[in-house]
Structure 1
Amino acid sequence: MPYVIAPGPLRGRRLSYAGRWQAAQLSPLALTIVIAGFAFATPREIALSRLLPAAPALAAAMWPVIPTLLLGAGCLLIMITLGFFYADLGTEYTSAAIVAVTLAAAYASHVRLQREEVLFHIRLVADAAQKVLLRPVPHRIEGVEIESLYLAAQQQARIGGDFYEAADTPYGIRLLIGDVRGKGLSAVGAASAVISCFREAAYDEPDVTGIVHRLETSIMRYSAAFPGQDLPERFATAIIAEISPARNHMRLLNCGHPPPLLVHNSEVRVLAPTTPSPPLNLAALIGDHYVVDTAPFAPGDQLLLYTDGVTEARDRTGEFFPLTDWLRQQGPLRPRELLDRLHGDLLRYGGGRLGDDIAALAVRSPEAVGEQGPQAPGRD
């Protein structure tokens, strides 16, 4: 399943947020007690009892209808009790205000609960759509470990324009990662068309260039079927990586996507393409000349594929996230641990906010005796 819940420190942070929210839910009751205490303890000229309607008003934002009504009734009882001690406190007016505010708060609570229920069902549908679009990748294929990370910039949408896939084919392990221009729901349709096509073409096409041609056709047909104002700019960047059946090298076809990073013996190498290939849906404009590069994939090597949302994450000063330097500092980590740490550091770096959708795949070759040294990427 795409990464949703953060383990380790992030999970603890979310649990602390949940604890704070539970404590905040007691604030209407605490406010009532404080106002009542000061109303009994202070001179009547101060008349702090007039603040009692604020308690049920606050409860409407976080309590159900019945507890809100009960809190209002409690405030009314407190006001009536105060009236026995202070005859000129204006009990009638304050009591009428408590009743009016409580009824309005109860209605507001009812409307809020209805909207929360609708939002809950919408999120269920979004989660189901996410599982269809980004279904779980196999954690291990023929000894090769594969893990995924996905973070949507629009949290309400839960899904976006970044996509990935992994397939165990007769031609080797084939990986796809890409990014449709834009973010959120506007890019979901194009991403779905590309990834659905890959799931078929990865098993049928003997060469990765054949896969790219089919992806190009798929996104062109989608754009033609759903035209819009952004039609000339609706394109996707993508990388197709093919790990050979011998697990000793890989072939990369980069269609305008950020270059992957390869870790070998603690050395981080940027696998930039020797010649850029056109992004998907732009071949008709700039040509369909695709170049496939080769790179080593020795035992113990780790490959990190990612979308530009990772490298374009900014801190408060506007600096981009230094992914290459960050990866050099991580040391030997398993793919799941690496992505968990990337998840946490990205959120901390951006102050808890994401400017774009983020997707990443971490792939690790199994350890073996007699590792191969790194070689420079070469063109097929």
Structure 2
Amino acid sequence: MEAVRRLLDLRHRGRAEDLPAVLSQAAPLLGAETAGVLLIDYAQVDLCPLRGTDPGAAEPKPVEGTPAGLAFTSANETWLDGDGDGGRLWLPLLHGAERLGVLELGVKAYPAEATRHDLAVIAALVAELIASRRFYGDAVEHTRRRLPMQLAAEIIWNQLPPLTCQVDGTLVTAVLEPCYDVGGDAFDYAANGDILHVGLFDTVGHGISASALTTLTLNTYRNARRSGLSLVDTCRSIDKWIRAQYPGQFVTALMAELDTRTGRYRRISAGHPPELLLRGGRRAPSLPTPNALPLGLEHMVKRPPEVVEFQLEPGDTIILYTDGITEARDESGALFGPDRLAGFMLDALARRVPAAEMMRRLIHAIISYEAGELRDDATAAMLQWHH
């Protein structure tokens, strides 16, 4: 409880960068010799010591092939025995379903089950402190950035919700690349009562002009949603504002609503690629798309946008994506394509890879497919419904 009290004191007077020192002082109270925080970088490649950690006390650890990385990817504790000289315990730092990094503890012996339960509570508290204190300074951002972030990407990241959210049996998780230079892609979601709202947007162009248009689109989407507008009226509102502020420009979008109680899925595809529906270990037929013109071009037709409805079954997975995913090309020019995307996701589902980890692996597969140089922004979101 003394360790909890010291950590809770940070709620009122501390910054995120003060957390490493408090944890280090509290380590003996936790039965540990050392305690520290490693945060995931934007590219989700390395776990990095939180700014404020004493130099030399910890080094970045790759996600792949390390016990710390396994704790992050599996969202479960991992242990490394020190061959009679104590060992190290890593616990995932989860803010809700969002993976922030890991808590690293140096201990004399593998803790008993009751102690590990208490340490999991401490890890949850640390995650809450990081999430709540991150906006009062730049320590978390400094930690997570391994490369300079371009201004367009700065604008987009500041608009986005957490990458992962889970409400009861429904989960949504997303990924965005190139993380340091994205400009035209974005996603959003909101869980309101029984309805989960999800939107994926792909703005024409790149750079600052694209990020400005994306910002307008995201905030108009949120304003329409919070005003209680229907999907059709939301589409019309975004279209109106794009035409008013950026005449001649457009945004493709897929905006959906899922009734998490009944599994009823409703959506409008405004010039956007069709989502993938995965059911029972197979790819199901795609829903009709597009069923509206891209946002900003709706005035070119007189008919209103059409809403497509579909009944999900428990366990169904929906993959939303921008064309930067399926139009990725290898050195021979072959497209990654929707079939390869479906195969990748079905294989991960069969191996019971956690949803957020599937998306991390997917985006790294896309980067690898294009030999490390993405030709376009690549964004994907996964929606899973269990009832």
TM bucket (normalised to shorter chain) is 0.5 to 0.7
Unmatched tracts of structure 1, length 5 or more: 16-118, 224-230, 369-380
Change (3 A) 1:139 1:235: same
Aligned residues: 253
Write the distance in 2 (CA, Å) between the matches of 1:325 and 1:318. Answer: 15
Write the distance in 2 (CA, Å) between the matches of 1:214 and 1:3. Answer: 36
- Bigger CA drift: 290-299 or 130-139? 130-139
Residue 348 (structure 1) aligns with: 368
- 1:202 equivalent to 2:229? Answer no
Residue 178 (structure 2) aligns with: 152
Whether the aligned pair in 1 keeps the contact of 2:265 and 2:310 (CA below 8 Å) is yes
Deviation at 1:199, TM superposition (A): 1.3
From 139, 164, 170, the equivalent of 2:187 is 164
Residue 4 (structure 1) aligns with: 42
Matching residue's letter, 1:251 = R
Whether the aligned pair in 1 keeps the contact of 2:271 and 2:290 (CA below 8 Å) is no
Matching residue's letter, 1:208 = L
Whether the aligned pair in 1 keeps the contact of 2:274 and 2:290 (CA below 8 Å) is no
Write the distance in 2 (CA, Å) between the matches of 1:263 and 1:217. Answer: 34
SS in 1 for 2:261: coil
Change (3 A) 1:207 1:235: same
Matching residue's letter, 2:304 = H
Change (3 A) 1:14 1:219: farther
Deviation at 1:181, TM superposition (A): 0.7
Write the distance in 2 (CA, Å) between the matches of 1:349 and 1:146. Answer: 25
Deviation at 1:335, TM superposition (A): 2.0
Whether the aligned pair in 1 keeps the contact of 2:276 and 2:320 (CA below 8 Å) is yes
Write the distance in 2 (CA, Å) between the matches of 1:260 and 1:308. Answer: 11
Residue 249 (structure 1) aligns with: 264
Higher RCO (CA 8 Å, separation ≥ 6 residues): 1
Whether the aligned pair in 2 keeps the contact of 1:335 and 1:363 (CA below 8 Å) is no
Residue 177 (structure 1) aligns with: 200
Deviation at 1:274, TM superposition (A): 6.0
SS in 2 for 1:133: coil
Write the distance in 1 (CA, Å) between the matches of 2:62 and 2:330. Answer: 22
SS in 2 for 1:241: strand
Deviation at 1:6, TM superposition (A): 2.4
Percentage of pairs with the same residue: 23
SS in 2 for 1:139: strand
Deviation at 1:122, TM superposition (A): 7.0
Residue 38 (structure 1) aligns with: none
Write the distance in 2 (CA, Å) between the matches of 1:328 and 1:127. Answer: 30
Unmatched tracts of structure 2, length 5 or more: 1-38, 48-60, 67-144
Write the distance in 1 (CA, Å) between the matches of 2:287 and 2:378. Answer: 20
Whether the aligned pair in 1 keeps the contact of 2:155 and 2:211 (CA below 8 Å) is no
Change (3 A) 1:334 1:295: farther
Change (3 A) 1:146 1:360: same
Whether the aligned pair in 1 keeps the contact of 2:164 and 2:356 (CA below 8 Å) is no
Change (3 A) 1:313 1:125: closer
Whether the aligned pair in 2 keeps the contact of 1:277 and 1:288 (CA below 8 Å) is no
Rg larger in 1 or in 2?
1
Write the distance in 2 (CA, Å) between the matches of 1:162 and 1:147. Answer: 15
Matching residue's letter, 2:42 = V
Write the distance in 2 (CA, Å) between the matches of 1:143 and 1:296. Answer: 16
Residue 243 (structure 2) aligns with: 220
Write the distance in 1 (CA, Å) between the matches of 2:235 and 2:40. Answer: 24
Q: Which runs of 4+ in 1 moved over 4 A?
A: 7-15, 119-122, 124-128
From 349, 356, 359, the equivalent of 1:339 is 359
Residue 7 (structure 2) aligns with: none
Relative to its length, the structure with more strand (as a share) is: 2
SS in 1 for 2:158: helix
Whether the aligned pair in 2 keeps the contact of 1:253 and 1:290 (CA below 8 Å) is yes
- Bigger CA drift: 137-146 or 341-350? 137-146
SS in 1 for 2:373: coil
From 281, 285, 292, the equivalent of 2:307 is 292
Q: Aligned ranges for residues 28-39 of structure 1 at < 5 Å? A: none
SS in 2 for 1:259: coil
Deviation at 1:324, TM superposition (A): 2.6
Instruction: Calculate the TM-score normalised by the size of structure 1.
Output: 0.60
- Bigger CA drift: 257-266 or 281-290? 281-290
Whether the aligned pair in 2 keeps the contact of 1:278 and 1:288 (CA below 8 Å) is no
Whether the aligned pair in 2 keeps the contact of 1:174 and 1:240 (CA below 8 Å) is yes
Matching residue's letter, 1:139 = C
Deviation at 1:130, TM superposition (A): 3.2
Change (3 A) 1:193 1:7: same
Matching residue's letter, 1:146 = V
Q: Aligned ranges for residues 123-138 of structure 1 at < 5 Å? A: 123=149, 128-137=154-163
From 260, 285, 288, the equivalent of 1:273 is 288
Write the distance in 2 (CA, Å) between the matches of 1:338 and 1:203. Answer: 31
Instruction: Calculate the TM-score normalised by the size of structure 2.
Output: 0.59
Task: For residues 223-243 of structure 1, give each alpha carbon's deviation from its aligned partner in whole angstroms, at most 9, with x where no partner exists.
Answer: 1xxxxxxx42x1010011110
Deviation at 1:317, TM superposition (A): 0.7
- 1:283 equivalent to 2:298? Answer yes
